Structure 1
Amino acid sequence: MSNPAKKDQTQELIKETAKNLFFVKGKFDATTQEIADAAGVNRTLINYYFRSRDNLIQIVFDEAQKVEQDKSKIIQNSDMLFKEKISLFVESSLSTSLQYPYLETYIVSQINKGNCHQKDIEEDVLKTLYKDIETEMELGNIETMKPVQFLLNMISLLVFPSAIRPLLMENLMIDDAEFDKIISERKEIIINMLFKK
């Protein structure tokens, strides 16, 4: 008789191993055998629990999207002041970048392959966000620009360093630990660049 708790642990181990290979190490083309070897399990268990590598990838991808959507909900569902919301979003995004350095790159690679991608933000929420940005501009807290430019600035400052992490590490001659330290120090820098006061 099989042990349900052990089955759940093994499934979770395989998922976490796949996430680690894809999002932490950036090995998007990891084979079923490589995932099994890294998890310390027999390759047939991946097919047993997930039916196929593609199915495992879809599950891991869905979980990756959930991480992104949870970040967006910080902005959408909060009663905090606008700058506080943005600060929390920046902090959360940087924390995710440290945990999963290749997450954004993975999601973009999946979109480029034509895999479905749910929108992280609804149209009415986006309109409200644009209104909030315009209000902050009128108050003099943000440089005047189209609200979409403010969002592009924020997203670029957050995502770009992680998206090209290997290239930056090579050209700036820094190792993983140093790069992580640089990412962890970015919150105040980003906030100071986005807000005048």
Structure 2
Amino acid sequence: MAIKDNKTEQHIIDTAMHVFFTEGKLNATTQDIADAAGVNRTLIHYYFRSRDQLFDSVFEKARLAAMIESEAVLETTLPFKKKTEKLIDVFLKRLKTYPFLEIAITTGLNQMETAFPASNPKYMQQFLKEVQVEMNKGTIQKSKPVHFMINLFSLIVYPFIVKPLNLQLFGLSEQEYEKIVNERKKVIMGLLFSE
């Protein structure tokens, strides 16, 4: 029996992440991945048995990395505004690298019969308490703290999910849209903190 090579397996995973979540080819075949990785399709089946198993492995790796990055920010003792700014940075960096990841996560959640944990609830619950404190101080608009979070996530993710529509609707080039995406942090902070 052949011994699996961790470097080859990692190369396949990295290539699949790029194809699925950077290029947005969520329905890419094992042949598509093999061609992009410069390996034989049989090798992909050797490591992952099927296209679905490869996708699940890549998806889980990306989801866990996203969760760890977000939790690392949520558990810091940074002041609220700085923490929010850092959270925006983390999301925007991930979305610029993997613009189709959020679509895959949402689609995956919608198709699953049982939910997987998106994050450690204690970090989010603590952040929601911080949101409430800021609302009480008048730093941010009063509402239910969950609305602040939904607004935050929506303001970050929406431009990536609807990029093709926005390009057509507003007649923007790729370069013009990239400039808009690069301005998102400032715009989001201004909207959330009435700056």
Which residue number corresponds to residue 101 of structure 1? 99
Which residue number corresponds to residue 9 of structure 1? 7
When normalised by structure 2's length, the TM-score is: 0.90
Which residue number corresponds to residue 25 of structure 2? 27
Which residue number corresponds to residue 146 of structure 2? 148
Residue 127 (structure 1) shift? 3.0
2:34/2:41 contact within 8 Å kept: yes
1:68/1:120 contact within 8 Å kept: no
Residue 11 (structure 1) shift? 1.4
For 1:47 and 1:163, the matched residues in 2 are separated by 31
Which residue number corresponds to residue 161 of structure 1? 159
Match of 1:192 among 177, 190, 194: 190
Match of 1:111 among 96, 109, 129: 109
- Deviates further, 137-146 or 169-178: 169-178
C-alpha root-mean-square deviation of aligned residues, in Å? 2.1
1:33/1:43 contact within 8 Å kept: yes
Residue 103 (structure 1) shift? 0.7
Residue 62 (structure 1) shift? 0.5
For 1:142 and 1:40, the matched residues in 2 are separated by 51
2:71/2:120 contact within 8 Å kept: no
Q: Which SS does the other structure have where 1:30 is aligned?
A: coil
Taking the TM superposition and a 5 Å limit, the aligned residue runs for 1:29-108 are 29-108=27-106
1:72/1:120 contact within 8 Å kept: no
Unaligned runs of 5+ in 2: none
Residue 181 (structure 1) shift? 2.7
Q: Which SS does the other structure have where 1:101 is aligned?
A: coil
- Deviates further, 187-196 or 173-182: 173-182
Which residue number corresponds to residue 181 of structure 1? 179
For 1:152 and 1:49, the matched residues in 2 are separated by 38
C-alpha distance 175-17 of structure 1, shift in aligned 2 (>3 A) = farther
For 2:170 and 2:104, the matched residues in 1 are separated by 23
For 1:174 and 1:145, the matched residues in 2 are separated by 35
When normalised by structure 1's length, the TM-score is: 0.89
For 1:60 and 1:73, the matched residues in 2 are separated by 20
Residue 136 (structure 1) shift? 0.5
Q: How many residues align?
A: 195
1 or 2 for the larger relative contact order (CA 8 Å, sep ≥6)? 1
Q: Which SS does the other structure have where 1:119 is aligned?
A: coil
1:28/1:106 contact within 8 Å kept: yes
- Deviates further, 107-116 or 56-65: 107-116
Matched-pair identity in %: 37
C-alpha distance 170-8 of structure 1, shift in aligned 2 (>3 A) = farther
For 2:66 and 2:50, the matched residues in 1 are separated by 25
2:85/2:189 contact within 8 Å kept: yes
1:136/1:142 contact within 8 Å kept: yes
Residue 172 (structure 1) shift? 2.4
